[in-house]
Structure formats: structure tokens, C-alpha cells
Amino acid sequence: MSGLLVDQMEWGVVERIKCFKAYDLRGRIPDELNEDIAYRVGRAYATWLSPGKVVVGHDIRLSSPSISDALVAGLIDSGVDVFHIGECGTEEIYFATSYYEMDGGIVVTASHNPKDYNGMKFVREESIPISGDSGLDEIQRLAEANDFPSVANPGTLTPLDHRAAYIAKLLEYLDLASLSGRETRLKIVVNAGNGGAGDVIDRLEPFLPIEFIKLHHEADGNFPNGVPNPLVVENRRVTIEAIAAHNADMGIAWDGDFDRCFFFDASGRFIEGYYIVGLLAKAFLDRSSDERIIHDPRLTWNTIDIVNSAGGTAVQSKTGHAFIKERMRLENAVYGGEMSAHHYFRDFAYCDSGMVPWLLVVGLMVATSKSLADLVDERMAMFPASGEINQRIEDPGAVLSRIEHQFESDCIASDHTDGLSMEFDQWRFNLRMSNTEPVVRLNVESRADESLMQDKTAEILALMGGEMV
């Protein structure tokens, strides 16, 4: 009964599968996620959604092929026709589900988790996400019950080569004529972190007059250079060093399933995702000002200021890809962004992509003849931000309550959309608890006052009293 918790109830025994989270599935191999659980998840997904055809793919982790095979077996035994795109990034499942008009899609991935983890992300038709409040809890219940109806006619398995169509879609985000018309080719350091992004760069490369300096480029589920997560400061060093060594125009790094991308300017400076949100919001609003832009509650002032100045409407959503996508569809928003480097696009099935953002940024650099630093420096000075700081705390709820009480007399606005946000005349902060561990995440920003932001960050961290993670 590996991977299961058993709860004794008066009407019998219920097996609890531990790897279901708020809006995906994530667990350690094999005790929390294994082939048996993957098979049952396939059966449960099919029983709940009743899809005719589903697209499936997996990331580069060593356990992903076997987990994917078990998932596929569960779908086929439920009468579902499976279209398998093989090794891929998460956004390729989103693309294929929408582009080929599938009834659903599942990618086997654990993104930036340690290499002994794996998981799944689920969508239904039109790449609509499935989360705890939109079906994932029911899928969990069915998988735990493990009591599925017999099916007279099993489904089929068909390989699906989506790559040419996917690459063509990505190229729509660039003005290739303008890029080719530059006197000198852009030089970009790309760090795939031994995840899946390298393959896509190789497929884009023949179409782009860009010189790529490739780091940790080959997919390797052993993660010989560490788990690909550019939010870990130590993981940025090799990208920064390569930018300097090659005199590159910028650097880009991805997480394992490349649904997030991270930027470095020509000096090697890491650009917080918050400022990329504002940059892309302005780019879309410059094309059409009467549009809605979705943002998360953690850092907001820069985005709201840009959107209002450009004539758009800024709409706040709870943090998390399922919540952002739901709000994107509700508002018909052209773009949505989270400071964590998730970027969502209406014409990409309202889904997040780690490839589209850097293509758009390259387009902006070419169109404006500006460097990445030129594009973001003014906004960084106007709204300096701490970046997300994580503290391990044993009683996160008590910490949030104590800090709210500490600052409430001076607060001019507060919000509980996602954790605790408190706003003052010249600065604001957001504190939110992790869904999966005793960690509190802090973000602080100010109005054109770097020292104030730093002082308030230090003050709140002292009040939190936790251990940095």
C-alpha cells in the first residue's frame, strides 16, 4: 500500500493518496507517487471527466516515462483515446490540448521539485485547468476509492507530433523581419538547467538570427548541475558568469518543465519577475489600450501604475496558476502575470508559457533599440521591491496575526485576497503562507525609496523570527 495513508472509519477503510495538492499532484517517488497510483489517477480522471480523447506528455525526470505509461494505461482501460506527445514541457500539453481540440490533457511533471519527486498537472477541454475546487478533489476521491466501472471497448494510443505547430505558434510572437534587419545579431545566454527547455531552443534556433550560448542544455533527469530552479540564488551564478564571459545582451534561465522563465540583463543582474509583468503589460496595452491585465497580490504598485497610465484595467487575482487562468477567462484578459515568473496569454489558451515571454522581450528590445536594463531600470527605481523572501516558521497563522496587529494603526488599506497585504503611504507588504509547508513568504515594495523598502523588510523579518529557506 505504498504511497497511501489508511484512515479507519466506522463504515470501512478509506485509502488516502497523499500526493494531491491544491491544483496539481506532486509527491516523492515511489512512496507518495508510483505506477499503481498513476494508473488509478488515469481511471479517476476518465471517470470524472468522461473525455473521448486526451493528450498526454511528460517531462525529463527519470521516473516520468514509467509514471506516464501507467497513467496512459488507466486512461485506455477507461475507454479513452490517448494522444501521446512524448517528452515535453508543461505548456506543450496546454498548446496541444487546445490546438488539436482535445477533451483534456495531462502532463507528468514535478517542475522544480527535487529529482526524487514527480507529479501531474491536469486540464480539460480548451486547456481549462482542473484544481481542487473544479474537479481535482473528486478525482482524488475516485482514485482513493479504486472502484471503477468496467469498460467494454478500451481506448487507443496514438503518437502525436505537435512540434511543428507549436514552434510555428511561438514564432508568431516575434517580428522576424525586424529581428533579421539588425546590424548585429543578439547574443543570448540560455540556461535550460538540464530540463526540457533546451530542445525547444534547438527547434527555434534555425528560424532566429540570434546567437545562443547554451548552458546545461542537454536534458538529464539526474540533474547533474542541481535541480533547475533559478529562484535559488546559487543557481544563477553560472548564467551570470556566462553573460560576462561572452559579452551577451541578456540571459534566460528556466525551471525543469519551462513554464517559467527568468531574465538577466547584460550586466548579469537578475531581473525580478515583477518588473517583467509590468513590461509585458505595457507591451500589450500599447497595441490596444482597452484591455484587462491580471496580476497577483504580492507586488502590485508597479503593475497597477503601468496599466492605469496605458489606459488598461488592472485586475487582482489570488496567486496560483488555476486562479489566474480562471480570472483570465472571466475577464477575457489579454495578459496576466505573477511575480514568480508565470506569464499567461489570451492567445495561448489563457495559459502560462516560459517561451512566449522571452520572445516578446526580444521583440521589445529590437523595436525600441533598448537593452533589457533600459526597459526596466526606470520602473525598478520607481517601485523598488524586496523579491520574495521565505522564512520557515512553526506557527505561520500566529505570525501573520501578530504582524497585522503591529501595523494596523498606520495602515491605510489591507487585503486578505492571498495572505495578508497591508498598504501605507510610501510602502506596502504581502505575507502569505505556503500551502504545503510551514513557510511564510514576504514581499515588500516602496515608492521610489530603496532604503525605506530595505528597512521595512528587515523590520518585518525581525518580527517573523523564522529561519531563512
| pLDDT, tens digit, 9 for 90 and up, residues 26-53 | 999 999 999 999 999 999 999 999 999 9
Other beta carbons less than 10 A from residue 161's beta carbon: 9
Whether residues 259 and 285 share a domain: the answer is: no
pLDDT > 50? residue 81: yes
Asked which of 160-169, 180-189, 445-454 is least confident by mean pLDDT, the reply is: 180-189
| pLDDT, tens digit, 9 for 90 and up, residues 358-369 | 999 999 999 999
pLDDT > 60? residue 223: yes
Residue 180 domain flag: no
Q: How open is the CA angle 202-361-376, to the nearest 5 degrees?
A: 140
Whether residues 412 and 356 share a domain: the answer is: no
Mean pLDDT of the chain: 94
Residues 432-459 have a mean pLDDT of: 92
Residues 204-217 have a mean pLDDT of: 98
Among the candidates 162, 195, 225, a domain finishes at: 162
pLDDT of res. 11: 38
**Distance from chain centroid for Cα 34:** 24
For 320, the grid coordinates are: 496560483
- Name the more confident of 301 and 112: 301
d(CA 117, CA 52): 30
d(CA 286, CA 291): 10
Residue 179 domain flag: no
* Residue 353's CATH number: 3.40.120.10
Whether residues 211 and 321 share a domain: the answer is: no
| pLDDT, tens digit, 9 for 90 and up, residues 326-358 | 999 999 999 999 999 999 999 999 999 999 999
pLDDT of res. 436: 63
pLDDT of res. 466: 79
Distances (CA, A) of 378 to 249, 263, 372: 19, 17, 11
pLDDT-based confidence at residue 23 (cuts at 50, 70, 90): confident
Residues 384-391 have a mean pLDDT of: 95
pLDDT > 90? residue 265: yes
For 425, the grid coordinates are: 503611504
d(CA 106, CA 294): 25
Q: Identify the three-state secondary structure at position 411.
A: coil
Whether residues 122 and 55 share a domain: the answer is: yes
pLDDT > 50? residue 8: no
pLDDT of res. 251: 98
pTM, entire model? 0.94
- Name the more confident of 122 and 6: 122
pLDDT > 50? residue 307: yes
Q: How open is the CA angle 168-170-176, to the nearest 5 degrees?
A: 80
Residue 173 domain flag: no
Answer whether the bond into residue 30 is a cis peptide, omega within 30°: yes
Specify burial of residue 324 (Cβ count, 10 A radius: 0-12, 13-18, 19+): buried
Whether residues 25 and 84 share a domain: the answer is: yes
Whether residues 157 and 29 share a domain: the answer is: yes
Contact 357, 343 (CB under 8 A): yes
b (16+ CB within 10 A) / e for 411-431 = eeeeeeebbbbbbbeebbbbb
Whether residues 154 and 10 share a domain: the answer is: yes
pLDDT > 80? residue 244: yes
pLDDT of res. 394: 86
Residues 247-252 have a mean pLDDT of: 98
Whether residues 55 and 152 share a domain: the answer is: yes
Active-site residue set: 111
Residue 199 domain flag: yes
pLDDT of res. 4: 54
pLDDT > 70? residue 14: no
pLDDT of res. 2: 45
**Distance from chain centroid for Cα 184:** 33
Residue 300 has phi, psi (to 5 degrees) of: -135, -30
Whether residues 230 and 302 share a domain: the answer is: no
Among the candidates 371, 406, 435, a domain finishes at: 371
Whether residues 11 and 153 share a domain: the answer is: yes
Residue 303 domain flag: yes
Residues 424-450 have a mean pLDDT of: 92
| pLDDT, tens digit, 9 for 90 and up, residues 82-102 | 999 999 999 999 999 999 999
Continuous segment of H or E residues that includes residue 303: helix 301-309
d(CA 188, CA 246): 9
Residue 64 domain flag: yes
pLDDT > 90? residue 10: no
pLDDT of res. 437: 72
Residues 307-316 have a mean pLDDT of: 98
Instruction: Look at the chain and report how many structural domains it folds into.
Output: 4
pLDDT of res. 47: 98
pLDDT > 90? residue 133: no
d(CA 174, CA 181): 13
Residue 178 domain flag: no
Domain that holds residue 44: 4-162
Residue with cell 486526451: 54
pLDDT > 70? residue 9: no
pLDDT of res. 428: 98
Among the candidates 244, 269, 294, a domain finishes at: 269
Contact 120, 25 (CB under 8 A): yes
Whether residues 70 and 119 share a domain: the answer is: yes
| pLDDT, tens digit, 9 for 90 and up, residues 165-192 | 999 999 999 999 999 999 899 999 999 9
Residue 381 domain flag: no
Whether residues 13 and 142 share a domain: the answer is: yes
Amino acid at 321: H
Contact 170, 162 (CB under 8 A): no
d(CA 174, CA 356): 9
Cβ-Cβ contacts under 8 Å for 465 (sequence gap 6 or more): 393, 399
d(CA 20, CA 431): 24
